[in-house]
């Protein structure tokens, strides 16, 4: 199994992914912040928004990835009208990356914040994945708008949902 972890620092998801895939698997992690090396994980340091880093990820990941994890988050300002669009910009970039590297049937797990743009993003996920569920971590504060969209069954054949 091959996994890419976008926004990986401090490395918790990468550690879990490395244990799950085992020595026969592959985990590629990236973030703008440096974090300790993790056995079985290749790290690319850089800003996911920069074309050179994005291209490096594509080259390193290939087109045979089973799972893309995205815990990307903008530097939050506390102003919803600023933070929300930035959050979905990163989520859209992660979805674009997923569409370029996932093998058929692959999965995409992405952190998003409920609010403006949420429904449209979930619809975009449903266009290219067979199933999409929304999960709120138990550790998340009840007032937090943070959730994870879990999309499985990658099938990017231009399907349109309810259009």
- Under DSSP, is residue 136 helix (H, G, I), strand (E, B) or coil? coil
Known catalytic residue: 111? yes
User: How far, in Å, are 1, 28, 32, 55 from residue 45 at the CA level?
Assistant: 22, 11, 6, 13
Strands (DSSP E) found in 72-135: 102-113, 129-135
Distance between CA atoms of residues 107 and 39, nearest Å: 23
d(CA 95, CA 115): 18
The sign of the dihedral angle between the CA atoms of 132, 21, 39, 154 is: negative
Q: Which of 63, 103, 111, 136 is catalytic?
A: 111
Residues belonging to the active site: 111
């Amino acid at each position: 199994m091959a996994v890419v972890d976008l926004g990986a620092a401090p490395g918790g998801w990468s550690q879990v992914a490395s244990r799950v895939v085992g020595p026969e698997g592959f985990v590629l992690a990236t973030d703008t912040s440096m974090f300790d090396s993790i056995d079985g994980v290749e790290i690319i340091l850089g800003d996911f928004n920069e074309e050179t880093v994005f291209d490096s990820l594509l080259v390193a990941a290939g087109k045979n990835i089973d799972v893309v994890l995205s815990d990307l988050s903008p530097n939050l300002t506390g102003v919803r009208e600023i933070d929300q669009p930035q959050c979905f910009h990163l989520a859209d970039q992660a979805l674009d990356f997923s569409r370029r590297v996932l093998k058929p049937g692959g999965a995409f797990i992405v952190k998003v914040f409920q609010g403006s743009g949420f429904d449209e993003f979930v619809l975009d996920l449903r266009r290219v994945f067979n199933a999409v569920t929304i999960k709120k971590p138990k550790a998340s504060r009840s007032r937090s708008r943070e959730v994870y969209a879990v999309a499985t069954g990658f099938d990017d054949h231009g399907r349109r949902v309810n259009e």
